Amino acid sequence: MIDVSGVTKSYRTQNSEVFAVDNVQFEVRSGDFVMILGRSGCGKSTLLGMLAGLIRPTAGAIRLNGQEIWTLSEADRAGCRAKEIGFVFQFSGLIPTLTALENVMLPTLFLPNGAEGRLKARALLERVRMSDRADAYPMTLSSGEMKRVAIARALINDPSLIIADEPTGDLDVDTEYEIMELFKELNNQGTTIIMVTHNPELVPYATRTYRMDRGKVNTSEPF
């Protein structure tokens, strides 16, 4: 599914080179629920950005279903993102001028023949138990509701992978539980998930867990 080898992201400062991600390598298999744990600033999100083809690594290779994504053109990388990857951001990332239903439909715009229509979006909203708020605008939704809509949006193009960046970071305990149960349900249905979080209590949901510290991923010490 995903093969990460020797991936590094460094930034030059005036006097030195800072490694946000340092020579990381690991593998994600189809159907995995991979959780990457670490403190804030350890490089988790930078790693996710590189996996999604949004942050160019300084070194190393990332293969998604056998294709080295950083050898693709910008347009092909965007197409790959639209088709293969569903994103759930730390903050909901919903577009404020679109309704919940339109937000779910949004990624279909970016596929050549991806205008799947409202029925699928409505079905996804029903799947995340948000069908009664389909016509609501994001500013009228609670944090948990926005996150549900974001998850529905991540699923609209039937991606093989969902990338979730601290998806429960801004939620209360009850809502966090609901959202994690939803991810678990999706994973049980065969969706591969990579999630980064700083909350160790979420580890039981994962099928595979990596700890990240100061840019390095410890693959030898499963959680």
- Tell me which residue of 157, 165, 183 sits closest to 83, measured CA to CA: 157
- In three state form, how does the secondary structure of 22-46 look? EEEEEEECCCCEEEEECCCCCCHHH
> In the numeric block, which tokens belong to residue 53?
């083809």
Restricting to residues 196-215, which ones interact with another protein according to CB under 8 A? Answer: none
Stretch that binds another protein, among 60-68, 100-108, 127-135, 185-193 (CB under 8 A): 100-108
> In the numeric block, which tokens belong to residue 154?
């991540």
- Whether the Cβ atoms of residue 50 and residue 58 lie closer than 8 Å to each other: no
Question: What is the C-alpha separation between 201 and 217, in angstroms, rounded?
Answer: 19
Restricting to residues 27-56, which ones interact with another protein according to CB under 8 A? Answer: 45-46, 48-49, 52, 54-55
Stretch that binds another protein, among 9-17, 26-34, 98-106, 193-201 (CB under 8 A): 98-106
Stretch that binds another protein, among 26-34, 73-81, 176-184, 203-211 (CB under 8 A): 73-81
Left if phi > 0, otherwise alpha if psi is -120 to 50, otherwise beta: which for 132? alpha
- Whether the Cβ atoms of residue 181 and residue 168 lie closer than 8 Å to each other: no
Candidates 19, 26, 91, 205; binder of another protein (CB under 8 A) is 91
Candidates 17, 74, 174, 221; binder of another protein (CB under 8 A) is 74
Question: What is the C-alpha separation between 153 and 87, in angstroms, rounded?
Answer: 8
Distances (CA, A) of 213 to 44, 58, 78: 9, 18, 29
Q: Is 4 in the site for another protein (CB under 8 A)?
A: no
| In 72-153, beta strands by DSSP E | 85-88
Site string for another protein, 103-142 (x = CB under 8 A): --xxxxxxx--xxxxxxxx----------------x----
Candidates 22, 32, 165, 176; binder of another protein (CB under 8 A) is 165
Which residues of the shown chain bind another protein in the complex (CB under 8 A)?
45-46, 48-49, 52, 54-55, 74-75, 78-79, 81-83, 85, 87, 89-98, 102, 105-111, 114-121, 138, 143, 146, 153, 157, 165, 170
